Every structure is written in C-alpha cells, then in structure tokens.
C-alpha cells in the first residue's frame, strides 16, 4: 500500500512539473562600451622655437599631407547646439555667426554636409559641455589654466556618439582677432577638426596647420 501511494505521489509531482510553462531564454545582445576621450587645446605660452620664414604661410604646400587620425569619427552629419552665454558682452548673433563660420569651413572642403547647426540653448537647466546627454554642445565654462579649449568625445568602436566643446572662460576671447585675446572662430575651427576625427599636431613644422595643438592670442 505504501509503495502504491509513493508511486502516485511521484507521478503527481512529475505531472505538475511538466505542466509548468517554461519561457525560452534568449541571449541578450551585448551593449557596446561607450568610451570618452578628452582633447585639450593648449595655450602657447612662450616664444616659438622654430623658424618662420614669412607671414604668408609659404610652406603650406609641403604640409598638405600632414595629419593624424583619432581612429573614430561621426558616421552621420554632426548636429550641434550653441550655448552663447558669455561674460565678454558678445551678442548671441555674434557668437552663433563665428561658430557657424568655423563649422562650415569644414563643409566647404568636402562634398558632404559635415555639420548642421540646430539652434541655441541657454538657462540653468540647459545642456552643458562635458556632460553625456545626447546634445552636442558648444559653450564657455571654467577649466584649468594652460588649456584654452577642451573637446569631449564619446565614442564606441570607430563611431562618435556625442561631442562637446568648452571654451575656457579663464581667458580673454574676441570675435574680431584682437591682439591679446583668443579668436573664437579660429579656435573653434580647430576644435571642429576633432569632431571630424582629426588629432592634434605638435611638430614645429605644423605650426601653419589648423590642427596644430597650440594657439596664441591674436591668431586668426
């Protein structure tokens, strides 16, 4: 009798187990790792050590093939927003005009639309440079001395996901190439080169090139 009861209990357990719905387990795709690269544009704080033959960029022909790639770039047109807030008295229209001119300098050299201006953002809750938030923001902010501007690049593989650029408000800026101040369009043309996937150059012979990693006041 005990044997029969035991067999019934085993059969009941097996039937209950068999009727339990089992959901299939699917392999979850691995999310690509997002990495951050911070590129600093340095202030040229001492007398140049190389020989400058003239002021008319006469050596540019020999430097046409001088460039260095970062290894990743935008796979689509890079949309950007501008936070025009500043302590220099620049109007929003002046800031936007200078930065757009810098961006479209790159567009003029290609057959593609490299950049697309999306508008201005401002206010305490507006996206700020240096924060991974889905906005490619350009604006002023405090950074350490010796660094004129800094570009933040979030990327995965060879694709850029977001790019921000901060102009260091510890320095004096100009929109007209004034002596003793750094020119917004000049510096942003360099920074947009990083957005394109280009790295800095530091050789003395590359002084004339846009991607030279140092900048001086009054330079346009």
Provide the CATH number for the domain around residue 130: 3.40.390.10
Q: What is the pTM of this model?
A: 0.80
Residue 16, in any domain of the structure: no
- Can you give the pLDDT of all 220 residues of the chain as single tens digits? 444 444 544 445 444 444 444 445 445 556 679 999 999 999 985 333 333 333 444 455 566 778 999 999 999 999 999 999 999 999 999 999 999 999 999 999 888 899 999 999 998 889 999 999 999 999 999 999 999 999 999 999 999 999 999 999 999 999 999 999 999 999 999 999 999 999 999 998 898 899 999 999 999 9
Looking at the structure of the chain, the number of domains it has is 1
Residue 170, in any domain of the structure: yes
Residue 148, in any domain of the structure: yes
Structural domain for 82, as ranges: 35-46+66-215
**What's the number of CA atoms in the CB half-sphere (13 Å) around residue 188?**
28
Residue 180, in any domain of the structure: yes
* Strand ordering across the sheet containing 214-215: 115-120, 78-83, 137-141, 159-168, 147-156, 35-43, 214-215
Residue 54, in any domain of the structure: no
- Euclidean distance between CA atoms 106 and 109, whole angstroms: 5
Looking at beta carbons, which pairs linking 102-111 to residues 24 or more positions away fall under 8 Å?
102/184, 102/185, 102/186, 102/188, 102/189, 102/191, 102/192, 103/188, 103/192, 105/189, 105/192, 106/189, 106/192, 106/193, 106/196
Residue 176, in any domain of the structure: yes
């Amino acid at each position: 009798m005990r044997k029969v009861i035991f067999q019934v209990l085993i059969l009941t357990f097996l039937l209950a187990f068999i009727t339990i719905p089992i959901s299939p387990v699917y392999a979850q795709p691995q999310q690509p790792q997002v990495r951050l690269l911070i590129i600093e544009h340095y202030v040229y704080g001492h007398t140049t050590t190389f020989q400058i033959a003239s002021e008319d960029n006469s050596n540019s022909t020999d430097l046409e093939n001088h460039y260095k790639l970062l290894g990743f770039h935008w796979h689509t047109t890079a949309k950007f927003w501008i936070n025009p807030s500043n302590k220099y008295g620049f109007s929003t229209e002046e800031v936007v005009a200078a930065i757009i001119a810098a961006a479209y300098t790159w567009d003029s050299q290609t057959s593609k639309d490299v950049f697309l201006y999306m508008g201005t953002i401002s206010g305490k809750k507006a996206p700020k440079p240096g924060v991974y938030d889905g906005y490619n923001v350009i604006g002023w902010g405090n950074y350490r001395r010796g660094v004129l501007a800094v570009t933040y690049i979030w990327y995965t593989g060879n694709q850029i996901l977001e790019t921000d650029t901060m102009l260091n408000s510890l320095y004096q800026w100009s929109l007209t190439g004034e002596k003793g101040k750094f020119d917004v369009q000049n510096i942003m043309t360099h920074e947009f080169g990083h957005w394109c996937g280009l790295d800095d150059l530091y050789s003395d012979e590359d002084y004339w090139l846009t991607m030279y990693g140092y900048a001086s006041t009054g330079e346009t």
